[in-house]
Amino acid sequence: MSRKNIKDYRQQFIDQGYAIVENVLTPKEAQKGANILLDKIRPESPESYAHIWGTRRQLKTPQHSIPRIAQFATHPKLLEVISNMIDGPFRLSAEPIPVTTFSGKVCGNLKSRNWRGHTDGFSNTPFLEREGSFANAWLTFADIEPSGGAMTAVPGSHYLIEKATSKPKFRAEKEKDNLYTAENNLEELDWNPKEIVLKAGGVFFYDGQVIHSASDNMTQQPRLVCLYNFTQKGNREKEVNARQTIHERFNSEHLKKMDDQMKQLVGLV
Ligand SMILES: O=C(O)CCC(=O)C(=O)O
Ligand SMILES: [Fe+2]
């Protein structure tokens, strides 16, 4: 894509490390998704886990999947947005991951100033080279209000993390203790975490190297989201290799019953 007609949200993603697009699903479509999620993920359901995340429960994938939630990956409006985030052809690279954050504590919150951030590992490719080759798209099925379990992120921190991790000492420290707080913040970084709040039917993107985390849900409304990982298609060899590992990345029962569009999107056909 030429830099001239780059969409505002892609530019925002480049500058901040995350971005929001509203109104991808209609309220009715979002409501449908919300009902499915509420039915499938319960506070104690064994198909999901919380790890260290308090009341945030994530479906264990690919063992478990929710095909009707995964199907939103083929929504025309979502696909259009993804086509503006990724240059050229792309595919859905893994079983979508539904997440419900029930009321309660997760990882601190901005009001009580105890929110803690992390990064999702370290990439060896500079962000500006990776940008345009992937999209971690979180679709939301219910409004996410302030203090409602939103993802929280420090705008622009991906560039500082990139710079800092080029130093072996910093990198080793963070590989041991992947934690960022207002108190132990990076010297150069303005500690201004923002909650990614948005209306039902919206989508947000983030880069794993922006300082981010989930946060406490102090409201009564569960946060209902699903993560769709999209990746740019590679050359023939890369795509042939990807096809060989598809059963490690997707639920086998789900693969069997996908419609043609979904099969195309995951690279099965
Ligand atoms: O649920 C969220 O918004 C953030 C979770 C997170 O940081 C992660 O999955 O790595
Ligand atoms: Fe994360």
3-266: CATH class:
mainly beta
Which ligand lies nearest the alpha carbon of 213? Answer: 1
Q: Would you call 33 helix, strand, or coil by DSSP?
A: helix
Instruction: Write the pLDDT tens digit of every residue in 116-172.
Output: 999 999 999 999 999 999 999 999 999 999 999 999 999 999 999 999 999 999 999
Which segments of the chain does DSSP mark as H helices, in order? 8-16, 27-40, 67-70, 76-85, 127-130, 157-164, 168-176, 236-244, 246-249, 252-257, 260-266
Alpha carbon distances (Å) from 122 to 28, 154, 170, 178, 244: 38, 16, 12, 10, 26
Can you give the residue ranges of every domain in the chain? Answer: 3-266
Which ligand lies nearest the alpha carbon of 152? Answer: 1
The DSSP annotation for 168-203 comes to HHHHHHHHH---B-STT--TT-----EE--B-TT-E
Instruction: Write the pLDDT tens digit of every residue in 45-99.
Output: 999 999 999 999 999 999 999 999 999 999 999 999 999 999 999 999 999 999 9
Query: Whose Cα sits closest to atom 10 in ligand 1?
Result: 120
In this prediction, residue 184 carries a pLDDT of 84
In this prediction, residue 171 carries a pLDDT of 94
In this prediction, residue 185 carries a pLDDT of 81
Q: In which band, very low, low, confident or very high, does the pLDDT at 2 lie, cut at 50, 70 and 90? A: low
120 CA distance to ligand 2 middle (Å): 5
150 CA distance to ligand 2 middle (Å): 12
Q: In which band, very low, low, confident or very high, does the pLDDT at 5 lie, cut at 50, 70 and 90? A: confident
State whether the beta carbon of 100 lies less than 6 angstroms from ligand 1.
no
Share of the chain above pLDDT 70, in %: 99
Query: Whose Cα sits closest to atom 7 in ligand 1?
Result: 213
Mean pLDDT (the chain, rounded):
96
- In this predicted structure, the answer to whether residue 222 has a pLDDT above a threshold of 70 is yes
As a whole number of angstroms, the distance between CA 106 and CA 211 comes to 16
